[in-house]
Chains A and B, each alone.
Chain A
Amino acid sequence: MESDPGIPSRNRREFLTGAAACTVGACCGAVPLVSGLIAWLDPLTRGAGGGDWIQVAEVASIPADGTPVRISVVTSRSDAWTRESAVPVGVVYLRRTGPAEVVALHSVCPHAGCFVDYQVDRRAFFCPCHDSTFAVDGSINDPRSPSPRPMDTLAVEVRGGSVWLRFQNFRPGIQAKVALT
């Protein structure tokens, strides 16, 4: 075929037009596709925020006997176009472990992300999704617990009688405690 003097030029022409058509088509398609993709990937550029120290409670307001109290962490937050100045961004359990020592446990179950409820009568944390419990200090006390790790603790500081903490969310379902960023 290539030895035929008449056809190669036609083939070349056809190849060139074909290539040109594909390029033009790809350009036409690429612009809307890529611009759409870039905007769609926008969430990846958004951080979780947080990590600031937030005052959440007074030490005196937490029972001295070690019973956890449920506290909403209230701070400013942006949700896309809405800016809210005082909105609950999460819920933690605060527990006194000494006169001026406080432990904060995240209310989100490290297993699948359900809301862990402290049940007064069981003296334990209870996750309704898989009917399993955590001890009052957040450790796994249920042999059938599907959770890969104990309840997540948060960094806490007591400053002049007030409890401050750095609120973060953590990735559920894995053994390592990794903050969501």
Chain B
Amino acid sequence: MKKLIDWIEQRTGLQGLLHEVLFERIPGGARWRYVWGSTLSFCFFVQILTGVVLWMAYSPSAHSAWESVYYIQHEMTGGWFLRGLHHFVAQAMHVLLVLHLLQVIIDGAYKAPREVNYWFGIVLLMLTLGLGLTGYLLPWDQKGFGATKVATSLMGIVPVIGPSLQKLVVGGADYGHHTLTRFFALHAGVLPGLMIVAIAAHVALFRRHGITAKQPYRKPEARFWPDQVLMDGVACLAVLATVVYLTERHHGAELHAPADPTQPFNAARPEWYFLFLFEFLKLDFLTQWFGHHGELVGAIVIPGLVMGVLSAMPLLGNWRLGHRFNLGFLAAILVGATLLTVQSLRSDAANPGFQAAVAQARTEADRMVTLIRAAGGIPRDGAASLLKQDPATVGPRLFAQHCASCHRHGGHDGLGIVSAEPPSAPDLRGFGSAAWLRGLLQADTITNSAYYGGTKFRAGKMVRYVREKLPKLQASEPVALEAMIAAVVAEADLPADRAGAADRTTLVEAGRRHVATTFGCTDCHAFRKPDEEATAPTLTGWASRDWMIRLVGDPTHVDFYGSRNDRMPSYLKEGRLTERDIGLIVDWIRGDTDPARWLTGPTAMATNGVSAARR
């Protein structure tokens, strides 16, 4: 054994190197305040390790980036944990960098002769921020896409070279395949490569100058091994424990729905460690003092100046009050950044519109997973193609855009935004259900804003009927009313009602007679047979898919409101919406959102084939 060690030592000098590494002198003994550099090295090591494995499963193109990350997150064994580690260690690195910088400044470890080493540290800080920025885009989800668009737009406002710089970073005039290939090359190649070089130089220079021991010494001089190594190890373990805890708690890193440049993404925010900059750009003084250059000043000039002062600290530190200035400056920046971050989080927490957008983004992300699972995989056209066919996703979006200026859905616009204005048309949540119809047929609710309150029908025949005639009929025939409601609701054939439909056959049969006789609905409405004298919307197929599509398409049709139509546009007739779009809204309102109904492509067939074969 001894011979082997000697043989290696003679040819490599390994022992000497090891000795130098482990037996670095520490005047005043091991201390907790020296652990930050080691925790950062540890984090970088974890990022390389997890990053390389993620790389093995990642595919950088606009057609496959999101899909490959989906596979890592939701299908690969341990994929979510690996991705979570990579995500949260990246966040930890930003925190640890700040702590390391603080310790270096407080202890004066940046002063001569350690200036160059300090500058390597600043370079490492910028490389880490660059890695965070480039990594954010790679999943190609709504959040990363939106944030990167903003970041690259800011790049474009740099005078003279801005537009070219932006084009080079984006890989063309528009976002696409080459944006991803370029960001990925930066994230997995260029930046980590530079980082390895910078870390090597940083550590080599640190060894050359030795540790900046904090005075006064508490203990006698010691060596790096074993006391300081133990402390560093414990610190790394604490970092790791925090990261594992966060990964477990959030089930890894979030993956939003695939990037879709045609949809507004109102939950757009940068990663939390850039929030302070985001909030800073909102400050009034920028536009007040610098007018139209506010953006340039806020996003480029001021951060540039701050980095400049940070870099100049070793030189400033030579002045009499230099060190105090440096301490004060750093403290001011950190307090400012913290306040801005808190301000940003607080204003978002108090903003119901933003909260609704975040909830909606989560719903869409979850729905995406449901759809992919139902389809048995992602079709060739990409995950977004599934989302675009999905009534549960597209329905509320179209509703918010085209219907919510008058109607509501459960009090909001379908996407969770509650308007300050009262609705001028019925609330369509649960339309076609017995509960909805019961509400319409009640004297005290029919003129609510959720029913006819905002329409011209508030003074119409139906309201008069419900107020004057129906209560008397109801008193004499309480059972008949429920039967009548059951009969009309049976026309809707809502998916939610299909389960118990067979048990209600007798009730519905009886109800159909009451519609015509007891309640005289057919005096105005047609019901289950043509009625040319009908003056109100037909109840034949009421709230069924076909009935609703036809009504939305043209409410002025004689089967519906005819010339008595209030303000409802004829969406199909006027070309405002296609029949397919109306179908998506209707399916969503009717709760007919089971993907098995419309997943009829080759993928669904293939899965059906597989399950059939298994049987």
Q: How many A-B residue pairs have CB under 8 A?
A: 147
A79: which B residues are within 8 A, CB to CB?
Answer: 62, 174, 176-178
As a 0/1 sequence over residues 61 to 105 of chain A, the CB contacts with chain B under 8 angstroms (1 = contact) are 101000101101000010111100000111100000000000000
A171: which B residues are within 8 A, CB to CB?
Answer: 156-157, 163
Quick check: is A12 within 8 A (CB to CB) of the other chain? no
Tell whether, in the assembled complex, residue B164 and residue A44 are in contact, meaning their CB atoms are under 8 Å apart: yes
- CB within 8 Å of B: which A19-61 residues: 40-41, 43-44, 46-49, 57-58, 60-61
A61 to B571, CA, bound (A): 8
Tell whether, in the assembled complex, residue A128 and residue B150 are in contact, meaning their CB atoms are under 8 Å apart: no
B266: which A residues are within 8 A, CB to CB?
Answer: 117, 126, 128
Tell whether, in the assembled complex, residue A181 and residue B62 are in contact, meaning their CB atoms are under 8 Å apart: no
A145: which B residues are within 8 A, CB to CB?
Answer: 287
Quick check: is A144 within 8 A (CB to CB) of the other chain? yes
B60 to chain A, nearest CB (A): 12
With A70-B401, A121-B420, A131-B351 given, is the CB distance from A81 to B149 under 8 Å?
A: no
Tell whether, in the assembled complex, residue A46 and residue B150 are in contact, meaning their CB atoms are under 8 Å apart: no
The interface size of chain B toward A, counting residues with CB under 8 Å, comes to 60
Quick check: is B413 within 8 A (CB to CB) of the other chain? yes
A81 to chain B, nearest CB (A): 7
As a 0/1 sequence over residues 142 to 155 of chain A, the CB contacts with chain B under 8 angstroms (1 = contact) are 00111011000000
Tell whether, in the assembled complex, residue A146 and residue B576 are in contact, meaning their CB atoms are under 8 Å apart: no
Quick check: is A17 within 8 A (CB to CB) of the other chain? no
Tell whether, in the assembled complex, residue B268 and residue A114 are in contact, meaning their CB atoms are under 8 Å apart: yes
With A82-B63, A128-B267, A180-B163 given, is the CB distance from A120 to B295 under 8 Å?
A: no
With A43-B178, A114-B268, A173-B296 given, is the CB distance from A61 to B574 under 8 Å?
A: yes
The interface size of chain A toward B, counting residues with CB under 8 Å, comes to 56
As a 0/1 sequence over residues 249 to 284 of chain B, the CB contacts with chain A under 8 angstroms (1 = contact) are 000000000000111111110000000001001101
Which of these, A60, A111, A181, contacts B575 with CB under 8 Å? A60
Tell whether, in the assembled complex, residue B265 and residue A49 are in contact, meaning their CB atoms are under 8 Å apart: no
18 contacts between A and B (CB under 8 A): A46-B167, A46-B172, A49-B173, A60-B575, A67-B405, A79-B174, A79-B177, A80-B177, A112-B154, A115-B268, A118-B401, A121-B404, A128-B264, A128-B266, A169-B174, A173-B296, A174-B295, A180-B163
Ranked nearest first, the 4 interchain pairs of A and B with the lowest CB-CB distance are A121-B419, A113-B153, A79-B176, A48-B173
| A residues adjacent to B (C-beta < 8 A) | 40-41, 43-44, 46-49, 57-58, 60-61, 63, 67, 69-70, 72, 77, 79-82, 88-91, 107, 111-121, 126, 128-131, 144-146, 148-149, 169, 171-175, 180-181
